[in-house]
Structure 1
């Protein structure tokens, strides 16, 4: 091609919700089942399919862990939130799931992925969030918020079930923790 170079392809960074946006979404979920589902995705960094494939036996309350069957039938463990555990106990009394942790209208039938998407979209709308919110954003937010709290990248990699640390390191570009402490050069112009 005689010196013609291709334009650089830019990898897009994961979209992340602020802690306040997550809080607002959760507060707009009146239905206990819906609140448990969205809370679990965020608090454990789950993919949509991982949430829907959970069984009651995957909630390991004595160890405060969730057993997850991830991509490629790879098993991993993630965090079980105290708040979510309390909510799940109430949910369990109310709904009595048989096979799946979250079931559809028919007992023993898995909750549908499209219904989950709709639940999140409607809650985000009620919370006044104007940008597009999708389920995977909760997973991205989990990783980013952990990083901002000081959790090391290797631990986040394990919680997310990433094979390669490079996949997890994308969150370093999203986190605002280190960026917020950098003085802006414009703000310091008058000091010189």
Structure 2
């Protein structure tokens, strides 16, 4: 199979697994860069390259070139993750008999603590939409679901009317890997949704529509959030996932147990959720260092 055909097949698989447009595009960019390098190494045109021509030595050469060009470990790990996913998929489909990246170790990358918003910052954003207007009412729903239910932006834009059970206050969400989970709706979110739907005069299945009446995109959600951030004069950059981080952090601060937060977030591994315990501990240490009289005692002795 030609490398280009393998890329197209893999992209189709990613879409079937509910991967976002942003994720699929990023993978295709990294993999396209690799295959162009491989073709050059083999002395042929990229469009003639076959997927089974790739071996472990070409992969190692590619990583070596990236290192020579000063690429960060994080970026290298991302590109290697894309290669792992592709070749694992091709082996599973029996396009390849051998996985050329199976024995290549990933570079160690220090895990950064996620950024989150403080409660007063979130409350400012939650009050920023003009709910008397259709698009403002929609924006309010976006904010209430990102923060109140901890949704990923891809999960948010994929919601349909039938995803809602307003009487029970529950929401069915299609998450990563096409896995469904049920999350609670806050009373604020439920009222915002009811108000928004009453203002709509259509019967389209998508919960969130743009001004043209078609399903809202994840990019549009980012633009809407940018507009609200500007409106409340927040100085820091805020992205939709930061509201999910804030959701998890505020739950743990409020005494929620880790397993419950894991289930609400839809994390497969508990280790993915444990990063938020590190975040809350670090925040508590900073609060202590600033506020407790004994924390600075050594400076005055």
Structure 2 length normalisation: TM-score? 0.57
Question: What SS is found at the alignment partner of 2:126?
Answer: helix
Query: How does 1:142-161 map onto structure 2 within 5 Å?
Result: 142-161=247-266
The answer to whether the aligner puts 1:100 opposite 2:209 as a matched pair is no
* Aligned counterparts of 1:114 and 1:186: Cα–Cα separation in 2: 44
* Mapped partners of 2:199, 2:183: distance in 1: 25
- Contact 2:116/2:243, CA 8 A, preserved across alignment: yes
Do structure 1's residue 128 and structure 2's residue 233 form an aligned pair? yes
Distance 1:123 1:142 in 2: 18
Q: Find the partner of 1:45 among 126, 141, 150.
A: 150
SS across alignment from 1:77: strand
Q: 1:105 to 1:174 in 2, by over 3 A?
A: same
Equivalent of residue 25 in structure 1, options 108, 125, 147:
125
Query: For residue 110 of structure 1, what is the aligned residue in structure 2?
Result: 215
Deviations 1:3-36 (A, max 9, x none): xxx9974211111011111111122221111111
RMSD of aligned C-alpha atoms? Answer: 2.3
The within-5 A match list for 1:160-179 is 160-175=265-280, 178-179=284-285
**What residue is the counterpart of 1:54 in the other structure?**
159
Equivalent position SS for 1:93: helix
Q: Structure 2: state its 5+ residue gaps.
A: 1-72, 74-106, 131-135
Please give the secondary structure, in 2, of the residue aligned with 1:66. strand
Which residue of structure 2 aligns with residue 3 of structure 1?
none
Is the CA contact 2:126–2:143 (under 8 Å) kept in the aligned structure 1? yes
Match of 1:186 in 2: 295
Q: Is the 8 A contact 2:145 2:156 kept in 1?
A: yes
Q: Residues of 2 paired with 1:78 and 1:181: CA distance?
A: 34
What stretches of structure 1 of length at least 5 have no aligned partner? 1-5
2:115 pairs, out of 15, 18, 24, with 15
Instruction: Specify the alignment match of 2:19 in structure 1.
Output: none
Q: What is the CA distance between 1:181 and its match in structure 2?
A: 5.9
Higher RCO, 1 vs 2 (CA within 8 Å, ≥6 residues apart): 1
Name 1:88's counterpart in structure 2: 193
Of 119-128 and 139-148, the range deviating more from structure 2:
119-128
